[in-house]
Chains A and B, each alone.
Chain A
Amino acid sequence: MATNQSLKLQNTFRPNGRVFEVERSAAEHSAVVRMLLEDFDEPDLLVTIIPISIDTSDDTLAKVFEWATHHKNMPKPALDDDGDRDEVVTIQLASWDDEFFSDIDSETLYGILIATNYLDIKPLYDMAVQVVVNMVRGKSTKQIREILGITSDFTAEEEAAIRKETAWAYDGEEVPNETS
């Protein structure tokens, strides 16, 4: 069986989802797809549209498959390999991946998190987590709000209470007092 055989995948979460044609070796980055494939007879694969159901846009899925296609030759972990999801390790992004992530907006980034979590594409999922973590790490409350586009919904009273609750971590001069 040729590994460059194409599979058809469709997101059925919303009606009229785009049908993606993805090379088999790329789609197999998803542990979920690989498990589904086991249930199909080989000849059927050419005609069957494999349904997936994820709350993300088609554009986001397109980015996920773009990544998977670029990395189609990267070895995939065995299906029974649970990995160390619990282990908190910092990953160094390779330059292509770095470029990949620098091009996408935060909406798509969150979508990639949801999609890779559903499809179980561990390498991309881990990287997306890392990218979000790096957006927040070492930043002040004010900076985090700006980066994530959050406006405080605290009342003044709550804001003061939080300041009091977290004052131990500040050296005095840098206690946040934004009241946006």
Chain B
Amino acid sequence: MTGTTPANGNGLPVPTSPGSVDEDVTHARHALSDLTLNSSPRNEKGKEKAKTTACRLVALPAELIAIILEYLVPLDLNHVAATCRALYRHATVDRLWQAHVQDNVPGQLVTSSHPCATFRDLYRAHDPRWFLPKYKIWFADEGFAGQLVVTRYSQQQGCIKGHVLVAYNTDHSLHVWEDHSQTIIAAFSPVVSLHVEIPAIQLSAHPNQDPYEDQAQSQQSREGRNFQPEIYMGVNTGGGLHRSFIHARHLSPEDASTRYRPHFPYGQIWPPPLLPAPHRVQGAGLERPMFLRPRDRANSRGEVYQRAFRIHKWFDNPSTHGADYNPLGSRRPAVYFTGNNMRELTQYNPPPGVLTRRVNIAEAISTYATLDPELYTPTPTKPFRGIWVGDYGPHGCEFIWIHQPDDDDDDMFDPESIARYADESDEAYAARKHDATIYRGRLEAIKLTGDSNVPRGEYSFIVDDLGGIGFLRVAHEPPFEGVRVVKSRGHLASQGFTMASDGGVRTDDYVPSQLFLISPDRLAQNWITMSRVTLFQRVDIDGLLVPE
């Protein structure tokens, strides 16, 4: 560690950027360039002033100021930068801003500020949307099926992108379970990948101009002066499908409880109740009439809820216009799909990004929400936590979140309290303690994407206790030799699930089933009443975060 440096030795380099793409900022920089090139006052009057405003914090060694500024968030840095010349130099050191960009870009080392000259500019360009790459996964309320989108940052393009996560099974073979000849085991070799050809979200540092946007309004937003509640993302390849990104504002607790309904679809709040979230937002676009009220939208930067957003899609096709419904109150021609309820919608599940005119959708808004990464990150004692892909037969692959909630007695549990059997070997005793640590507590499989029987946001199966009373046996028969089997409850429902709002009778039920804990990355669920065993496999989300 170095000692003190002279009090005036804090002339840190400040990134100047003659090649800035943003004229506005270049202009601002011009006025500030004196600060960066020459910190001494330019005239006598200035010199006198500088003497009287000497600030002791500024007199600290540069390295100490730098360390203090590391603790500040971007808004604080802006405030500090605006106090005086010396602190301006310190608070605009690009290393600080690079760290703030990095904080929001998991899975890769951020080294490029492209297309901006500095990381400070880059941070500004994507503010307040850095939460998108930060939270990685987003599930949507589109129909019963929903959709899972993975967001990531492309340094090469300077772009925040979101891609639909798709999975398909490459092995459709069925095998008779030797020891249970009535039961079929469905093979499962899923390929999980991002649908990169048509991004669901594409937000560049310098957004496209919305053809429907008022000229003056867009000019203002391009100057970066005002918060943009909705950002046009351009026309989709070929189909004439326009898309925009809309910031969401969360419901107030009172609003949320007023909107909430005890049965599916829960008054369209998003995320649905089984998915933990600090706040809920109003879902939109499923049932008519469903309007986005002004207070469901973020109208300023401070109102942005960082764990949800909406995507607005519409066709630029005059023949579909005409209705007076205008969900966003925007100037653009707006209609929405007519005469649908959720049940009809699910009849057709278009492949990601390829909405076609065969369905009556001319305009739709989907709402996306995320999950706290901690909830799907495995730990030594909760090894099954994660995002998984499962085989749902005719419905194809679906994504589920395996939730192992923290137990109240987790802290009380001590494997050392387990008594050793008189004739037990060291290995057997250690293995038993290990098992007792891992196989305990509840496990819930909650659908992030779903189908017309059991939709997104619902339980797929539940294990009430991985140990204790939940334990059934250790399997000895192929192909599950040595695998631990626990009691589970499988969630089954007839087509259309339960539409309480239709006065529907509850058609879903939980049936006794068994879960085979093959490994922390692979599970098998024996749906006993269906005489079928289906498989589940962990999805490596972090492995998808770095663009090729």
A interface with B by C-beta (< 8 Å)? 53-55, 88, 90, 106-107, 110, 113-114, 117-118, 120, 129-130, 132-133, 136-141, 144-145, 148-154, 157-172, 176
**Which of B46, B72, B80 meets A153, CB within 8 Å?**
B46
CA A138 to CA B274, docked complex, whole Å: 34
Q: Is the CB of A136 within 8 A of B72?
A: yes
- Shortest Cβ distance from residue A125 to the other chain B in the assembled complex, whole angstroms: 9
Which 4 A-B residue pairings sit nearest by Cβ, starting from the closest? Answer: A161-B31, A171-B300, A151-B53, A166-B78
Q: Is the CB of A153 within 8 A of B78?
A: no
Q: Mark B123-155, 1 if CB is under 8 A from A, else 0.
A: 010010000000000000000000000000000
**Which of A114, A136, A164 meets B4, CB within 8 Å?**
A114
Chain A residues near B302 (CB, 8 Å)? 171
- Shortest Cβ distance from residue B354 to the other chain A in the assembled complex, whole angstroms: 35
Q: Is the CB of B68 within 8 A of A140?
A: no
Chain B, range 368-410, C-beta contacts under 8 Å to A: none
Q: Is the CB of B301 within 8 A of A118?
A: no
Interface residues on B, range: 35 or more
Q: Is the CB of A144 within 8 A of B83?
A: yes
Q: Is the CB of A150 within 8 A of B55?
A: yes
Q: Is the CB of A117 within 8 A of B64?
A: yes
Q: Is the CB of A140 within 8 A of B28?
A: no
Q: Is the CB of B3 within 8 A of A53?
A: yes
Q: Is the CB of A172 within 8 A of B4?
A: no
- Shortest Cβ distance from residue A96 to the other chain B in the assembled complex, whole angstroms: 23
Chain B, range 317-366, C-beta contacts under 8 Å to A: none
- Shortest Cβ distance from residue A57 to the other chain B in the assembled complex, whole angstroms: 12
**Which of B29, B50, B76, B84 meets A136, CB within 8 Å?**
B76
Chain B residues near A152 (CB, 8 Å)? 53, 83-84
Chain B residues near A169 (CB, 8 Å)? 74-75, 78, 124, 127, 301
Q: List 18 A-B contacts (CB under 8 A).
A: A110-B56, A110-B57, A114-B61, A117-B1, A117-B61, A120-B1, A129-B71, A137-B72, A140-B79, A141-B79, A145-B84, A148-B83, A151-B52, A153-B84, A158-B35, A161-B28, A169-B75, A169-B78
Q: Is the CB of A148 within 8 A of B57?
A: yes
CA A46 to CA B507, docked complex, whole Å: 87
Q: Mark B264-308, 1 if CB is under 8 A from A, else 0.
A: 000000000000000000000000000000000000111000000
CA A176 to CA B72, docked complex, whole Å: 18
- Shortest Cβ distance from residue B247 to the other chain A in the assembled complex, whole angstroms: 13
